[in-house]
Amino acid sequence: MEKPNILLGRIDNRLVHGQVGVSWTNYLGANLIIVADDEVAQNEIQQEIMEMVAMTSSADIRFFSIQDTIDLIWNAAPEQKIFIITKTPKEMRALIDNNVPIEQVNVGNMHFSEGKRQISQKVFVDDEDMENLHAMQEKGVRVYIQEIPGKLEEALK
């Protein structure tokens, strides 16, 4: 079984929007966006909105639950250049902990909510988020903060 061609994992609580669906997808040369999210996998309205954004980059888009992503990723065709997006570090870690071969994780946007602290301009975390991010690093995954392509990356602290 050939290893799937995963270009990047991104954590962004907005999932697919202009930055992801156009800027990042084109920058990476991705031709398939996988949204790994249990809620969105069941929500056709959210899927339709994200499909419209993905169409502007000519990439295909699929919506899978976390478990379906784990179960199906190894069926990817060699020509698929995959960009995986989750809302939270917990979801991305679940993929990595279950043998989804993601080598790099870009943290884009994690909005403020009660109990979260700011670690960069657009990233707010709590202790569980940091535990999950550091656990990915301990597995050898490169984890960094970068809002848009071309903007300087920030190391995860």
Q: Active-site residue numbers? A: 17
Q: How far apart are CA 157 and CA 155, in angstroms?
A: 6
Tokens encoding 31: 């031709």
Q: What is the largest CA-CA distance in the chain?
A: 44
> Which whole-number Å values give the CA distances from 36 to 13, 61, 62, in the listed order?
12, 11, 8
Q: Do the Cβ atoms of 92 and 44 come closer than 8 Å? A: no
